[in-house]
Structure 1
Amino acid sequence: MADSVPVIGSGAGNRAGEIVGVVPRAEYGRMVVLTTVMPMAIITTTWFLPPGWNLLGTAAMLTGFLLVLGKAIAGVPLALLISERNLMSLSRFQALVWTVVVMAGYLTMTLSRVKSGAPNAVGVDIPQELWIAMGISTTSLLGTPLVLGGKRARSPDEKLVQNTSVQLAEAPADIDAHRQGVLYANANMTDARMADMFQGDEVGNTAHIDLAKVQMFYFTLIAAVGYFMDVAMSVARGTTHAMPALSQGMLALLAISHGGYLLGKTGDHSNSKQT
């Protein structure tokens, strides 16, 4: 019992104050860190760092929170980037990048307004262009499993399995054991690598670089970093009434790269057949 913490419950079937179970002390510690320590650290960082730098500190703390969350739940710090096929996902990466950038910007501006005594501190305007960019990001995240769903009911050509086996130095039996239809998959989350984000999805092309993914990665990175700097300069100038707008040209590039990313997933790269 020394390594456990009692949990007091008052839910259905339990009297208020009744001990309903125990939580391992390590798990209890992670719960405290996730629900109390990390949020307070994020707010403190935003409040006390100089304008501009507080955005960088807030983004770093939010990223740290996501790493701790992944470690606490899945045992892998980068778990939020790993798909159900135990591969690093580019659509998850770009969604998380925009989430951190927008959340850090909004929180920094809101707390800056609270600190300066501005009325309606949470009334930070979010421009339409930013909503569109977030919508494009979400479309790729949700659209990827929809596009790939039908490929789970198909089987790859055996010759391509053999070719991939040679290229990846992986036994054909292991590829067949872990694949999901024609989709390549790893056995465990710990097998995921950053390189997964740039490789093909299917057994037939997973050993090759997907140029559509490379394009989307760079456009996402350029747009996110550029927008982050715009928010930092706005905060440094004391302009906290509204988040900066993205240019129409950047939105067009994001839309094209994400469209190419999803379209590239529709082809058959494994000479598949229905199972």
Structure 2
Amino acid sequence: MSHDSEASASTGVSAVAAVQSEVRLAPPETGAVTPVPLPQNQRLMMLTTALPLLSLAAAWFVAPGWGYIATSLVLLAFIAVLGQSITGTPFGVLISERNSMSLSRFQAVTWTVVVVSGYLAMVIARVKTGTPNAVDVAIPQELWWAMGISSTSLLGTPLLLSGKRSKTPDAKVVDATAAQLAETSDEINAQRQGALYANKGIQDARISDMFQGDEVGNTAQIDIAKVQMFFFTAIASVSYFVDIAMSLRRGGSLTSLPELSEGLVALLAISHGGYLVSKTTDHSNSKPS
């Protein structure tokens, strides 16, 4: 091979290497989930493994009541690390397949943290006092109802919205929404999932998504059913959190988690029912695709 050929081949290899380097260094396309580098992912997974142990330590070494708060914070950190390691954002557990923050996911996570950390804190408190069969902490029937209502919203939401994925919103509705959101109709049509509005990428998810409509036709408006469910969930979960903390501070036998009032459970059922029923309404004058 001549020197010119070798030089040409060398130049070609260098060019390919440069292109590959640019491809590796180039930022991902908008909408793509950026993979977590392996070393960072390993660190995140190690932290994910350590956090449950930290929650046990918090419940054991911190004073009752405060230990419950510490355990709740550790569980929240665990969820954030899990989201970061999988989706690239600490709020990943709240983000739906439409790249928007989901209220049904938020309320499910809220109840999970409140109840699981409360149960764990009570079990640890019973272990520390030498109570036989320490894990035998009763769960009131009203709490089962509340958790069932929460799970129904979490599982029912995608089922109710699935039928709208095969529909096409009216063109005039798309144009009106585009004007309200300062987007183009082409952008909305490229991102939407049937009649459902979708963000372009996971990095576009916002807390405001939890209060906006799901469809192209109402995503620019506030969904009052979502606002109502958010407030009832916040009131119920915060009140129950305080009840558990006060029970732990008072001490005693700690045989059961605190009871929820039947009236509060009824309010939760009504708000969640309205939330689910609102998803059955067509807000986009949509037609089958």
**2:265 match:** 251
Equivalenced residue count is: 252
5+ long unaligned stretches in structure 2: 1-36
**2:41 match:** 27
Q: How much has 1:44 moved relative to structure 2?
A: 1.1
Q: How much has 1:49 moved relative to structure 2?
A: 1.1
Matches of 2:86 and 2:250, distance apart in 1: 39
**1:168 match:** 181
1:60 matched to 2:67: no
Q: TM-score, normalised by structure 2?
A: 0.86
1:119 matched to 2:112: no
Matches of 1:105 and 1:24, distance apart in 2: 35
Q: TM-score, normalised by structure 1?
A: 0.90
Q: How much has 1:175 moved relative to structure 2?
A: 0.4
Q: How much has 1:54 moved relative to structure 2?
A: 0.7
After TM superposition, list the pairs within 5 Å mapping 1:80-119 onto structure 2: 80-119=93-132
Matches of 1:77 and 1:26, distance apart in 2: 14
Which one-letter code corresponds to 1:81 in the other structure? L
5+ long unaligned stretches in structure 1: 1-22
Matches of 2:45 and 2:217, distance apart in 1: 42
Which one-letter code corresponds to 1:189 in the other structure? I
**2:34 match:** none
Q: Secondary structure at the match of 1:209?
A: coil
- The counterpart of 1:241, out of the listed 228, 243, 255, is 255
**1:69 match:** 82
Matches of 1:30 and 1:213, distance apart in 2: 33
**2:276 match:** 262
Matches of 1:126 and 1:215, distance apart in 2: 27
Q: How much has 1:98 moved relative to structure 2?
A: 0.2
Matches of 1:186 and 1:216, distance apart in 2: 23
1:209 matched to 2:222: yes
Q: Secondary structure at the match of 1:28?
A: helix
Which one-letter code corresponds to 2:270 in the other structure? I
Which one-letter code corresponds to 2:241 in the other structure? F
Matches of 1:90 and 1:227, distance apart in 2: 19
- The counterpart of 1:155, out of the listed 162, 168, 193, is 168
Q: How much has 1:39 moved relative to structure 2?
A: 1.5
Matches of 1:153 and 1:69, distance apart in 2: 32
1:78 matched to 2:91: yes
Which one-letter code corresponds to 1:116 in the other structure? T
Q: How much has 1:41 moved relative to structure 2?
A: 1.3
1:272 matched to 2:282: no
Q: How much has 1:25 moved relative to structure 2?
A: 2.9
Which structure dedicates a bigger proportion of its chain to strand? 1
Percent of paired sites with the same residue? 59
Which one-letter code corresponds to 2:72 in the other structure? A
**1:132 match:** 145
- The counterpart of 1:190, out of the listed 180, 203, 209, is 203
- The counterpart of 2:62, out of the listed 49, 61, 64, is 49
Which one-letter code corresponds to 2:41 in the other structure? E
**For 1:168-206, what per-residue CA distance to the aligned partner results, in whole angstroms no more than 9, with x for missing partners?**
111111100010000000111110000000000000000
- The counterpart of 1:229, out of the listed 242, 252, 270, is 242
**For 1:200-226, what per-residue CA distance to the aligned partner results, in whole angstroms no more than 9, with x for missing partners?**
000000000000000000000000000
Matches of 1:119 and 1:163, distance apart in 2: 65
**1:181 match:** 194
Matches of 1:27 and 1:274, distance apart in 2: 43
- The counterpart of 1:199, out of the listed 198, 206, 212, is 212
